[in-house]
Chain A
Amino acid sequence: MKSYQLIPFLPLAAFVINILLGKRIIKDKAHWIAVPAVLASWVISVFTLFDVIGGKVFNEDLYTWIISDGFIVSVGFLVDQLTAVMLIVVTTVSSLVHIYSVGYMHGDKGYYRFFSYLSLFTFSMLMLVMANNFLQLYFGWEAVGLCSYFLIGFWYEKKSASDAGKKAFIVNRFGDFGFGLGVIMIFLTFGTIHYEPVFNAVNGIVGQSINILGYDISLVTLIALLLFCGAVGKSAQIPLHVWLPDAMEGPTPVSALIHAATMVTAGVFMVARCNPIFNLSHVAMNVVAVTGAVTALFAATIALVQNDIKRIIAYSTISQLGYMFLACGVGAYAAGIFHLYTHAFFKALLFLGAGSVMHAMAGELDIQKMGGLKKYMPWTYWTFLLASLSIAGIPGFAGFFSKDEILWQAYASGPLGKIVWFLGAVTALLTAFYSFRIVFVAFHGKFRGTHEQEHHLHESPKVMTLPLAILAIGAIISGWVGIPPLIGEFLGIEHSDKFGAFLAPVVGHPHAEGTHGEEIFVMLLSILFAVGGIITAFFMYIKRPEIPVQLGESMKTAYRVLWNKYYVDELYHLIIVRPTFWVAQSVIVGVTDGKIIEGIVNGVPRAIGGFSEILRRVQTGFAHHYAAVMALGLLIIMIFLIL
């Protein structure tokens, strides 16, 4: 076994140990199993990254999983540049979240269970990113979904938590429905579902089409769109975004790890991984770009008015994931993955910061009941501020580089690119605004909670603030490996976009067409929007706090629509949930099974002269009666046939 193959299995071992022995033996020492395992995975991942930087690419099968006719699937690992980046992201954030959870989950009665699930999640996510074929990807895909289900519903006694977990799983199944069919289409088209042969052969199917309900649809477009269905579910894009805000019912470290930094980015990873397929379909690419851009703006508008700190950040996550898809859709996969990587740091930091606040305020989520937390929790405040500057896109911070790269690549990719760029740019303004709305409302001003809460306000323990500090460093410097050449030249750094160059062997180079002037314009505009958003938030929530109230009253309808998240949940309830239950209850139980089939079954014997009555009487006896009837029947038939 090569060392990189241990990366996923160490957390798996930790899971097995904790889940079997946690309840009786390990108990509140569960982190002594889970944390070393994930740290070891992190160390190996770092070494693996250097191997890959040194030019190695691993693609090896462990064993053959399924053999059925030509359907032969292995469990195996592909570690190339893309996977190496994902390994670092996953193991880094997972390690920090593990450590943070030691403090955050301290004293919870499900302590060992929590760490078991974290380990299982880490294993699943690593299997997902290391897969060398689509079915193993699907395995990881569903397994992370399962862990998400476990962890969202971690406090399962709460109805809302168990509802949210169930919802996440089922909504994801809608996406996986398409994803699964996509995998099947790939197999039937290529005769294999291993990445390498599929991606090598994919050029050969250009121009082929398939007839569906009388329409000819390009095969490659169909495959790409089916795969994208899965991504839409997992990465919470319109129209399957509804599960992610509810997922905030889970413990906050989970939100940071699964619902911000890693699992929800699996869709982006998958699209980038399948870039040889997506590249061949303009239609699919445009769908990806538009879905991403629309989702980015849509979620950002909802985030403007929410008061639940975790939900704001959740909508922000949906929005940022939209950016990543936007990038993939215009062919700038490297930029999408770059944003995935920077986002992992600042978004995990935002969530963990929110968790730190909740920890201090006995679980309070409403930012209107916070205020002035800056002086009570300096570490939390400053790290949260850095993360907010990063997500807002202030130059120098990680978020600036990745977001700017996406917007520029979109702008430079053609006419549709201009449209999605515009949506993305507006989103940037909103992002800066709502991010700093949290900062100003929760951390500045006067404390608005109860006296009891105020009395208990405290900075979180070191085991929690240390991960915050490390992530804050990441939120600043992680972007420095992808400085656009424009700034690189200005600063005198050669080959400043190391990230893009590193990923190029997997995802290629985007073909941006634009002048330096345009690039400067796009960049200055994003900076302007970022600063403008922050200043607006400052003005509205620090200087003139009466404005938001007036605004809400003057635009009541708009406010209500945003507050109710465009009523999407209500719509789904009306058009999917209720009709299904109606069919189940009223049509099937009430009519088809209940009246028609049962009517015939019970009615026929009755109609022919109380046959059932006779049989019932026969059956009050025992086996010999029955045997006699059977023998008689057999005899009659035999006689009948022989004669």
Chain B
Amino acid sequence: MHELSIVTSIIKTAEKEVETIGGGQIAEIYLEIGKLSGVEIQSLNFIWDLCAKDTVLQDSKVTIMEPEGSAKCAECDTEFKLEKIYDSCPKCHSPFKNIISGKELKIKKLIIN
């Protein structure tokens, strides 16, 4: 259940940002959590309210973008969709690749009032 650490880390960052601008409450938060990031969105949603209670994120609207996994083959340069982190190149079947997207784990934006 590392989603707990993820959520608590988000809350800490958010609290700090709010403190920096002299207080307030977060109306909206935009997260980017890639499909290959290793975070289960369902688990994250499950614990979100519990963790956010009595923090600047209580009752905030949460928007999560989930970029699909994609990679570029290190052998033949083919770009392909990565459903699983161990998918091989569909053209030359090489397992060597560079992941282009899907590993994102970011707080994109906060809207504070």
Asked if A pairs with B, the answer is no
